[in-house]
Amino acid sequence: MGGSLTKPFVADSWVMSQIFTSSFKNLAWANLAAQSAEQLSLAATPIVAVLLLGAGAGEVGLMATAQTLPFLLFSLPLGVLSDRYSRRALMLWAEGLRGLALLCLLILVLTGQVSIWALTLLGFLGALGTVGFSVAAPALVPALVPPSELSRANGRLELARSTAYAAGPALAGTLVAWAGASLAFTLATGLSASALVLLWRLSEPARPRAVQRHPLQELKDGARFMWQDPQLKVIFKTAVAWNIAWFVLQAAYVPYAFKVLGLSAATVGVTLGAFGVGMVTGAVLAPRTTRLVPLGRAIQIGPTLSLAASLTMASTLLWPSEWLAVLSYLLIGLGSTTWVITSTTLRQTVTPPTMLGRVGAIFLTCNMGARPLGAALGGLVGARFGESACIGLSLALFALQFSLILRPAISQLKALPEQAK
């Protein structure tokens, strides 16, 4: 009797394991295609606006605003939908919307009908697709891989994002210069279509259906859970402080590099490119790091490297050097990706599956909301006291995020807790 029960159970477990492995591979490749499509279009759109339409800073700023606004407006509603319905279906609709926006951009460029308002509207729609994908994908990962493989899985997804982030702008510029904007948008549209095919082939495991209530009440439940969990609370505060600090630095760095460090345009590009190199390196190393050191220490590596990067940048006030600037951006890229992988793994583990979408959306909304706050703060301080003051302010804020992550809830964490049910 026992033997007859055991064999089917083992066989079913093996089959389910193969399905989950295949599904995660589809998700990982879809993520790479989607991230690449997004970065290509984000880089090509302002190039098209400037070269074909003679756009200035105001028009480019309008398009950039349209591409970030959906994160603030729709992350929370999409987080609720992600917890209520199929996450695979949400990603399919999201990627379909992005692909449609890219196809429309391609048609407008080919027919010579492109305009600033068209670029702005289609950029908004494409970003809305990005939000849906960004909310649903991390919430789906824990259902596709065992808890012991979460860090490795998140590392693979982050490696795709980092690679697209590092290579996308350069590739877009090369394609536009070589063959015109149409080739860049053709490639982006094709990549988005590939992501759709891969998502269609993905198998999403069934999960318990939570009792559906008013969306605001469900969001309150997610926020309450996040705020009452000591580990998530520390991660949330640290992430907000980090994003403000990073965008204070971003707002001031380019004018600081020209005016104070005396760098050329090419050298400034090299320093900014070091950030992408650091991101890719962090994505490769982070999963291995979590196996070698206690989880709490691994989570603290990102904020520690970010503080070291800020100290390195601040040292250029005394010793102006392009190499110190390069090292600073390399360290902050390395730290940011390590942080994303380790903190996301912890969040996925301690959050119940029925809340993953909402909790992730709350993190996404607040992080994105902190970015314009940091940019505005950097702009105000820079205009009033000069770019050098922004370097000092970003150092103080990076020191704040470092102090937050030292709380016992993280420092004393030795390994992943038992996965929430």
| 137: pLDDT strictly greater than 80 | yes
Pair 180, 314 in one domain: no
Looking at the chain, the whole-number percentage of residues with pLDDT higher than 90 is 25
Q: What is the mean pLDDT of the chain?
A: 83
| 98: pLDDT strictly greater than 90 | yes
Pair 151, 229 in one domain: no
Phi, psi for 276 (deg, rounded to 5): -65, -40
Structural domain contains residue 420: no
Structural domain contains residue 41: yes
Structural domain contains residue 268: yes
pLDDT score, position 335: 92
Question: Quick one: CA dihedral 242, 136, 168, 181, positive or negative?
Answer: negative
Pair 98, 156 in one domain: yes
Task: Work out the average pLDDT over 364-368.
Answer: 84
Q: How far is CA 18 from CA 234, 289, 326, 379, 415, in A?
A: 36, 27, 43, 52, 26
pLDDT score, position 58: 63
pLDDT score, position 12: 38
- Summarised one tens digit per residue, pLDDT across range 373-409 is 787 788 778 778 888 888 899 999 999 999 999 999 8
Pair 299, 377 in one domain: yes
Q: For residue 226, what is the domain's CATH number? A: 1.20.1250.20
Core vs surface per residue 236-271: b (16+ CB within 10 A) or e: bbbbbbbbbbbbbbbbbbeebbeebbebeeebbeeb
Pair 287, 351 in one domain: yes
Structural domain contains residue 418: no
Task: Work out the average pLDDT over 200-218.
Answer: 76
Q: Which of 166, 200, 234 is the last residue of a domain?
A: 200
Pair 10, 71 in one domain: yes
Structural domain contains residue 321: yes
Pair 367, 259 in one domain: yes
Task: Work out the average pLDDT over 320-335.
Answer: 91
Please tell me the distance from the alpha carbon of residue 414 to that of residue 392, in angstroms, as a whole number.
34
- Summarised one tens digit per residue, pLDDT across range 46-62 is 778 777 777 665 677 67
Structural domain contains residue 419: no
Pair 58, 140 in one domain: yes
Structural domain contains residue 356: yes
Task: Work out the average pLDDT over 176-190.
Answer: 81
Domain range spanning residue 96? 2-200
Local confidence band at 219 (pLDDT 50, 70, 90 cut-offs): confident
pLDDT score, position 56: 65
- DSSP letters along 333-353, please? HHHHHHHHHHHHHHHHHHS-G
Q: Which of 200, 225, 246 is the last residue of a domain?
A: 200
Please state, as a whole number, how many other Cβ atoms lie within 10 Å of the Cβ of residue 418: 9
Pair 352, 296 in one domain: yes
Pair 379, 236 in one domain: yes
Local confidence band at 181 (pLDDT 50, 70, 90 cut-offs): confident
Q: Quote the pTM value.
A: 0.78
Pair 196, 219 in one domain: no
Pair 49, 145 in one domain: yes
Report the domain count for the chain: 2
Structural domain contains residue 21: yes
Q: Which of 170, 200, 230 is the last residue of a domain?
A: 200
